[in-house]
């Protein structure tokens, strides 16, 4: 095996990653697979277990495959060949509720004769916390990355040769780390973004969103198993978190809107605090609107988390030798599973960016010579004596520009439409009048392919190909 790429001074770390969520861990894994060392600093003592993202589809599958984790993720996760939009469950005279009527259905793909779906044609439902565990296991195996738990970053400085950060350990001990590059993958409240003086711009939604992991016995498991509840007030998303069967207890995710206000008996508006929303009685009042089956319900809430919903984008995802990826750079509402998937594709693009930078050697930071590249597979060849140059600042700026463009032109409009589609009008009116539902009912393959094309052709960024168009002969 080729010797790992390490700077001339052994106390300098090639890449410092802040944040041990799936985005940071995927970046660490891909860098290690390119023989680039890193450390990951995480302010928490362990991996987070709170209910967060669950769905992975499109080009994210290819990234998982290239990282060597697709087989395990697809095996453990619940496959879904599409999505269904429903009304709230209906109740009979005995109090038993049945799943709401189907408003529209999107069948993306069907399994082959062996029961398996083709890669990139379906959605994998797997809790974010389990995905992070799989990534951590693989990162640890490489021996080229170390995760330092309970280390909170407090300060950052950079110069033309590297980045220095200070972190406080769980014992209150300040530690300094010096790296060539720094990646802030530390979530929506990113300390790295704040230390860099980068602002988020956008808007926040009036509703809150509560994610609950619920152990329950489902009387039926429809195909596809994932459905969206369309309702002006109590909209939500229901999805399994493991392979579930009808009549057998299994783990499900019920993600539900918390209305901006509740109406009191006198008609006045009552605004609930976060603490009131998280009280078991209120959580159950939301769940009992969504759960099908007999009453009393046998469900048990295993975990719950409350979130505010935003549509926010950082003014840049790069400054000096520092980068942002995932929620540290952009935040969108969770309907449609676009948030974490976009963050994972950020990590993929940043891995390529840093791989290109390290392929140039340890020369001048602003401009370095590299051989001719093969943009199709990212392999550097000898070029038969032909030398090319690239300005690293332009390379890094291209990473930021391309990923921000993806958010502005694809993720923000798609995720906003996904959310408003669930609650903007009466469910029957939405089903009849919404352009997307009309297209699904027409079922024209070319039309649907055109609608979904941005999420398959423009969501992932191929930095190697982009670099190939910006190189010039020396």
pLDDT tens string 5-59: 444 444 799 999 999 999 999 999 999 999 999 999 999 999 989 999 999 999 9
106 in any annotated domain: yes
Q: What is the CA radius of gyration of the chain?
A: 24
234 in any annotated domain: yes
Residue 278 token pair: 């998280």
470 in any annotated domain: no
- Domain ranges, residue 267: 77-124+204-309
103 in any annotated domain: yes
pLDDT of residue 378: 37
Q: Structurally, how many domains does the chain consist of?
A: 1
Q: Decide if 125 contacts 238 (C-beta within 8 A).
A: no
Angle, helix 392-406 to helix 463-470, in steps of 10 degrees? 130
381 in any annotated domain: no
Does the global pTM surpass 0.85? yes
pLDDT of residue 261: 84
458 in any annotated domain: no
For the stretch 244-257, pLDDT in tens is 999 999 999 999 99
Q: Decide if 196 contacts 183 (C-beta within 8 A).
A: no
- Burial letters 296-329, b for 16+ CB under 10 A, else e: ebebeeeebbbbebbbbbbebbbbbbbbbbbbbb
pLDDT of residue 473: 38
462 in any annotated domain: no
Distance between CA atoms of residues 321 and 146, nearest Å: 21
pLDDT of residue 43: 97
Domain of 93: which CATH number?
3.30.9
176 in any annotated domain: no
- Burial letters 121-138, b for 16+ CB under 10 A, else e: bbbbbbbbbbbbbbbbeb
Residue ranges for the chain with pLDDT beneath 50: 1-2, 5-10, 362-386, 471-474
């Amino acid at each position: 095996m080729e010797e790992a790429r390490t700077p001339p001074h052994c106390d300098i770390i090639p890449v410092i990653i802040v944040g041990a969520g799936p985005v940071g861990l995927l970046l660490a894994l891909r860098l290690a697979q390119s023989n680039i060392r890193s450390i990951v600093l995480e302010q928490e003592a362990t991996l987070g277990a709170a209910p967060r993202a669950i769905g992975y589809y499109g080009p994210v599958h290819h990234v998982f495959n290239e990282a060597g984790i697709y087989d395990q993720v697809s095996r453990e996760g619940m496959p879904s060949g599409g999505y269904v939009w429903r009304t709230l469950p209906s109740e009979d005279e005995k109090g038993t509720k049945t799943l709401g009527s189907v408003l529209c259905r999107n069948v993306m793909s069907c399994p082959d004769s062996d029961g398996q779906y083709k890669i990139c044609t379906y959605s994998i439902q797997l809790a974010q916390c389990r995905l992070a565990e799989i990534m951590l296991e693989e990162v640890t195996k490489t021996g080229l990355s170390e995760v330092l738990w309970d280390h909170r970053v407090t300060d950052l400085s950079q110069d033309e040769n590297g980045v220095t950060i200070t972190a406080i350990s769980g014992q209150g001990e300040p530690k300094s780390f010096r790296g060539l590059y720094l990646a802030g993958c530390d979530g929506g409240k990113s300390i790295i973004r704040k230390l860099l003086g980068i602002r988020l711009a956008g808007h926040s939604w009036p509703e809150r969103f509560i994610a609950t992991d619920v152990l329950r016995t489902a009387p039926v498991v429809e195909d596809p198993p994932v459905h969206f509840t369309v309702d002006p007030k109590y909209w939500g998303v229901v999805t399994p978190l493991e392979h579930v069967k009808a009549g057998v207890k299994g783990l499900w995710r019920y993600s539900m809107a918390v209305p901006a206000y509740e109406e009191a008996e006198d008609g006045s508006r009552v605004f609930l605090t976060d603490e009131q929303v998280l009280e078991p009685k209120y959580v159950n009042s939301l769940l009992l609107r969504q759960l099908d089956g007999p009453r009393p319900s046998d469900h048990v809430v295993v975990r719950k988390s409350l979130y505010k919903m935003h549509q926010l984008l950082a003014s840049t995802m790069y400054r000096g030798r520092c980068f942002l990826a995932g929620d540290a750079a952009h935040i969108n509402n969770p309907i449609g599973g676009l948030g974490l998937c976009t963050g994972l594709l950020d990590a993929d693009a940043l891995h390529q960016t840093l791989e290109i930078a390290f392929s140039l050697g340890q020369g001048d930071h602003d401009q370095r010579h590299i051989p001719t590249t093969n943009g199709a597979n990212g392999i550097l060849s000898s070029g038969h004596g032909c030398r090319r140059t690239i300005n690293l600042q332009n390379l890094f700026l291209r990473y930021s520009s391309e990923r921000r463009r993806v958010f502005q032109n694809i993720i923000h409009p798609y995720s906003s439409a996904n959310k408003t589609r669930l609650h903007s009008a009466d469910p029957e009116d939405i089903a009849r009048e919404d352009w997307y539902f009309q297209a699904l009912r027409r079922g024209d393959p070319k039309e649907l392919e055109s609608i979904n094309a941005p999420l398959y052709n423009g969501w992932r960024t191929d930095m190697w190909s982009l670099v190939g168009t910006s190189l010039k002969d020396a």
